Amino acid sequence: MLAVELQARIGTLDIEVDLAVSEGPLVLAGPNGSGKTSLLLLILGLLAPDRGRVAIGSDVLFDSSRGIDLPPEERGLGYVPQDYALFPHLNVRENVAFGLESQRTAAPDVDRRRRVERLLEEMEIASLSHREPRLLSGGEKQRVALARALAPQPRALLLDEPLAALDVSARRQVRVFLAKYLAGLQIPAIVVTHNAADAIALGTQMAILEQGKLVQRGTYAQMKAQPQTPFVAELMGSFPTKT
Amino acid sequence: MIASPSRRSRGNLAWQAATRIPAALLVAFILLPVVALIFGTSAGGFMAGLRHPLVGPALRLSVFTTICSLTAIVVLGTPLAWLLARSRGRLLRWTELAIQLPIVLPPAVAGVALLFAFGRRGLLGAWLDRIGVHVPFTTAAVILAEVFVAAPFFIQGAVASFERLDQNLVRVARTLGASPARVFFRVALPLCAPGLARGAAVSWARALGEFGATLMFAGNMSGRTQTLPLAIYTALESDLRAAQALSIVLVAVAFGLLWAVHGSGAQFAGVRSREGGETVERA
């Protein structure tokens, strides 16, 4: 369980969020500029909140009242940014292995190697392991970024617009792959999107962020039946009918 | 009013002349001295010039002092550039501006300022004098003068290079467990290396050409403080061929640097472009 309760002022936007995410993906949707990416960065410790608390289970990552503020490298949270941000000077395998090399607990080399191999297989990128990121397609980049985030065995996974950088044809295919993968994941995950079709495909639990505040939380069906704001109504209305 | 075709082409012609003639004049003016320098000698004259007794010591001294100054600049300047590139604090903004002062400062002023700092009665020099360290008119003074005038060029290049680094790469690296130090060595440094190298090349060229501050602060003693530019200045009075030969050497070096700086661009993503190679085990 990832519990987030944060207040922060980022630029001119006041973010105030109280959010608990259990196992499985939560889709975080909202209009552009509603603070979705900022919220992820706050949870990751890459932006500083004014007040609040972030915890995974009983492990507190941030608590302003107790003066706890773990640096990003000690939070154990996986992150896939919008443009994937693969390290351009490392090949696919080195990208995936990056987080394992950073870990202080020196797992035996064999174990690390095996974990990298397994992730490369799982993400169907084993054949690309020596390739440079700039030679990959959008979908391949995304799977490398996902494998890289999962390699150090994070306690939660945060994905920012995982499908936004893809063209239409790649998007459908990657969406199916990602949805299946996230559904089987044993850790809390937050998937940010502002695309309705992506939102419904990637998770059943949804939360809507507008102007830095959570305006509605629930399943797709609940939101469709009782949208709380015009944005939610529009988002739900634009969904294709479920078959 | 619509101009007739002939008038329009006449106007175009006038405009072309108005832009191209001044442009050609300036290019010719800049290239002429270089051409004159090279064509004003023969292979034999060049070799004879290089055998002049001033040449050897000056060449050795210039190589030695610029290696020392460039090392100091890179070792001290890289952390500074990293700080400057990553901070928006007011103090560091001022620092960034102040550090560029030597670029616009007349070299003679730099020499005088260094004397006031490190001279026997200088701000720091008086104290150094008491513990028996005398900086002015030594090889160390040559190195200090070179660091002073050349450091800003490296810092500028390095800051620009670090600022171009994609912040998402830094963020992701942190979430993958990398400490700030590891982010610097494993992500920032390899990706910014070409930019740092270009900054270092320009900085080295400036150090190699340092004349004014060196003359005022370190003097002109063969083997101790007489670097290549000072040797050229000295040879001008005795043996023109030596001055010419040394100048040609420096022109060649300058061309080499220009080529290295501009010919090695556009390789940001290909810092290491080899295929394959097992480096996973490297922990």
Question: What distance in Å separates the CA atoms of residue B5 and residue B11, rounded to the nearest whole number?
Answer: 10
Domain shared by A97 and A140, yes or no: yes
Beta bridge partners of B217: none
A124 domain-assigned: yes
**What is the ipTM score, two decimals?**
0.90
Residues of A with Cβ-Cβ distance to B267 under 8 angstroms: none
Say yes or no: A72 and A162 in one domain. Answer: yes
Taking only the tens place, the pLDDT of each residue in B226-258 is 999 999 999 998 888 999 999 999 999 988 888
Cβ within 8 Å, pair B175-A79: yes
Residues A19 and A59 in one domain: yes
Compute the CA torsion angle A226, A232, A235, A239 (nearest 10 deg). -20
Question: Average pLDDT of B179-203?
Answer: 95
| B159-198 per-residue burial string, b: 16 or more CB within 10 A, e: under 16 | bebbeebbebbbbbbbbbbbbbebbbebbbbebbbbbbbb
Q: What is the pLDDT of residue A225?
A: 86
Mutate to test the interface with B, among A82, A87, A115, A119 (most CBs of B within 10 A): A87
Does pLDDT of A56 surpass 90? Answer: yes
pLDDT > 80? residue B281: no
Mean pLDDT, range B185-200, rounded to an integer: 95
On whether both A102 and A213 belong to a single domain, the answer is no
pLDDT of B259: 86
> pLDDT band at residue A201, thresholds of 50, 70 and 90?
confident
Residue A124: is its pLDDT beyond 60? Answer: yes
Whether A200 and A243 map to the same domain: the answer is yes
Q: Cα separation of B209 and B274, whole Å? A: 37
A144 & A32 share domain: no
- Of A45-59, A109-123, B84-98, give the range with the top mean pLDDT: A45-59
Least CB–CB distance from B174: residue in A73, A104, A149:
A73
For residues A101 and A221, state if they share a domain: no
For A81, which of B172, B178, B271 is closest by C-beta distance?
Answer: B172
Q: Are residues A66 and A18 in the same domain?
A: yes
pLDDT of residue B5: 58
The 10s digit of each residue's pLDDT in A168-179 is 888 888 888 888
Out of A71, A81, A97, the one facing B280 most closely (by C-beta) is: A97
Give residue-wise pLDDT tens across range B146-178.
Answer: 999 999 999 999 999 999 999 999 999 999 999
Q: Give me the pLDDT at residue B283, please.
A: 29
Decide if A81 is inside a domain: no
Count interface pairs A-B at CB distance under 8 A. 95
* Residues A1 and A101 occupy one common structural domain: no
Are A93 and A150 members of one domain? yes
Residue A228 lies in a domain: yes
Instruction: Map out the domains of chain B as residue ranges.
Output: 45-266
Please give the residue that has the higher pLDDT: either B165 or A233: B165
Average pLDDT over residues A138-163: 93
Tokens of B82: 């990293």
Within this chain, do residues A40 and A149 fall inside the same structural domain, yes or no? no
For position A238, what pLDDT does the model report? 57
pLDDT in tens, B95-111: 989 999 999 999 999 99
Q: Which residues contact residue B91 at a Cβ distance below 8 angstroms, ignoring those fewer than 6 apart?
A: none
| Confidence band of A112 (pLDDT split at 50, 70, 90) | confident
Residue B40 pLDDT level (bands cut at 50, 70, 90)? confident
State how many domains chain A has. Answer: 2
CATH assignment, B45-266 = 1.10.3720.10
User: CA neighbours within 13 Å on the CB side: how many for B257?
Assistant: 19
Q: Which residue has the higher pLDDT, B82 or A196?
A: B82
> Best of B161, B174, B176 to disrupt the A interface by mutation (most A CBs within 10 Å)?
B176
How confident is the prediction for chain B on average, in pLDDT? 88
Distance to chain A for B98, nearest Cα, Å:
29
Tell me the residue range of the domain where A22 lies: 1-76+155-173+182-243
pLDDT at A220: 85
What is the arithmetic mean of pLDDT over A94-107? 81
Q: What is the distance of C-alpha A156 from the center of its chain?
A: 8
Check residue B3 and give its pLDDT: 53
Average pLDDT over residues A217-225: 87
Q: What pLDDT does residue A23 have?
A: 83
Decide if pLDDT at B44 tops 60: yes
Residues A133 and A68 in one domain: no
Q: Answer yes or no: is pLDDT of B282 > 60.
A: no
- At A181 the pLDDT is 87
